[in-house]
Amino acid sequence: MIQVTPQMRILVAVEPADFRKGIDGLARVCREALRKDPFSGCVFVFRNRSAKAIKILIYDGQGFWLCQKRMSKGRFRWWPESSTALTRGLEAHQLPVLFSGGDASAARGAPCWRRVGSGE
């Protein structure tokens, strides 16, 4: 079972991926195109060109998980755009919004870190 925790690093590939690729092909995309280590434990999220499906690649220490969601109607409307960056990071609370076809950038959550006062 895959559980996404706030400590996990989630990287969304900006460019669409070829969905004929499986685990080995997407791991190669992570290494060569995204310049990231697929064994790092990051959650890698890819979208196909038609925006009807996403794939998630995760290494859990023992092996890879490859998950796919294909929309039965509609498309994934939101996807990060960048002229320079190859990936965009997401927070853990934004990932379910992306899975449901929503705008992950509009999902607001509590700040990841805040200073704890001394009580004085």
Give the pLDDT mean for 7-26.
94
Q: Where are the domains of the chain?
A: 10-106
Judged against a pLDDT cut of 90, whether residue 4 lies above it is answered with no
Judged against a pLDDT cut of 90, whether residue 117 lies above it is answered with no
- Per-residue pLDDT tens over the stretch 59-96: 999 999 999 999 999 999 888 887 788 998 888 888 88
Q: Which helix (H) or strand (E) holds 23?
A: helix 23-28
**CA angle (2, 91, 27) in 5-degree steps:** 55
The predicted structure's pLDDT at residue 30: 96
Q: Tell me the C-alpha distance between 92 and 95, whole Å.
A: 6
**Residue 18: which of 49, 58, 54 has the closest Cα?**
49
Give the pLDDT mean for 28-54.
95
Judged against a pLDDT cut of 90, whether residue 12 lies above it is answered with yes
Place of tokens 């939101």: 78
Judged against a pLDDT cut of 80, whether residue 111 lies above it is answered with no
pLDDT band at 2 (very low <50, low <70, confident <90, very high): confident
**Residue 90: which of 1, 2, 6, 3 has the closest Cα?**
6
